[in-house]
Amino acid sequence: MSEHSLRIIFMGTPDFAVPSLKKLCDNGYTPIAVYTQPDRINGRGKKITPPPVKALAMEKNISVYQPETLKTEEEIERIREMKPDLLVVIAYGRILPKALLDIPAYGAINVHGSLLPEYRGAAPIQRAIIDGKKETGTTIMKLDAGMDTGDMLVQKKMPIGPHMTAGELFDALSLDGADLLLQVLDNLPEYMAGAVPQDASKATYAEKITKPMGRIDWTKDAVTLDALIRGMYPNPGTFTFFRGKRLKIHRACVSEAADTSSEPGTIVSVSGGAMGVQTGRGILTLTEVQPENHKRMLVSDFINGHQVKINDKLEY
């Protein structure tokens, strides 16, 4: 496919941004440069790991820049000298200073994983599932100096399935984002002219997800806990404690079984390859777990290996 004349600098870091970069390269919009976060040391193996976007950019022979900050005059000048028409920013992980946004003729556009103004901020995809939303989507907006406050160019809705995890929703929205981005670039002047301001009165914020959020409080109801488990999966994950040791929960679902008189956290069934746990309201069925210092396993193997019995307790 012939190359378009638009001079694009792509800024992105994680897997969520990869489909968009690939879509640009496959459709004649190969960026003149890619900005991504510096390589980081992988906690477990102590290996230096490049961001997923960098790996694809190198494969496509695109120049890669990995500054710790974009706020230095040196970095701003380097971008100014590239004479970009547009910055495409997707989960880059850095706030862009206004001096940078003012350089390209078309400014900067961002692919965001929510239906703005809902879920501005760092974790829109996980929060939508944790909050029990039935629907979310993708927004492409113009970047301004605020936190996800820019005018919107286009949106696309997506249903959240009853068993969908954050990982699955990430993948689905990243593909939708790539399609929407190409749609916008093919008609950029029209989309820019038709940009719609966000209704700030309807804005909500999706604060960063933290590991301590994953600790299961069994006094909460089964529906809420199921949403938390799916929204925190695969990272950073949810956990409880069994016989004093951490037990990660990978898969669970809300049971149709009736409440028992047992206290929340009590194991009330251990049959059919599943483990039913009494919550504050309803039974939560665990199907895949990971004991401390072990690999993930089916609950049937956990029950057999740890001789789990009815009335054993999961602590919180």
Per-residue pLDDT of the chain (316 residues; tens, 9 = 90+): 457 889 999 999 999 999 999 999 999 999 999 999 999 887 666 788 899 999 999 999 999 999 999 999 999 999 999 999 999 999 998 889 999 999 999 999 999 999 999 999 999 999 999 999 999 999 999 999 888 999 999 999 999 999 999 999 999 999 999 999 999 999 999 999 999 999 999 999 999 999 999 999 999 999 999 999 999 999 999 999 999 999 999 999 999 999 999 999 999 999 888 999 999 999 999 999 999 999 999 999 999 999 999 999 999 8
What pLDDT is attached to residue 307? 94
What pLDDT is attached to residue 84? 98
Q: Is residue 9 a contact partner of residue 31, using CB atoms and an 8 Å limit?
A: yes
| Integer angstrom CA distances of residue 128 from 115, 140, 165 | 10, 18, 11
Q: To the nearest 10°, the Cα dihedral for 257, 261, 265, 269?
A: -40
How much is the pTM?
0.93
Sign for the pseudo-dihedral over CA of 36, 39, 41, 45? positive
| Integer angstrom CA distances of residue 194 from 100, 102, 120, 141, 307 | 23, 19, 21, 11, 63
Closest CA to 283 of 303, 305, 261, 298: 261
To which residue do tokens 């994950």 refer?
A: 237
* Amino acid identity, position 108: A
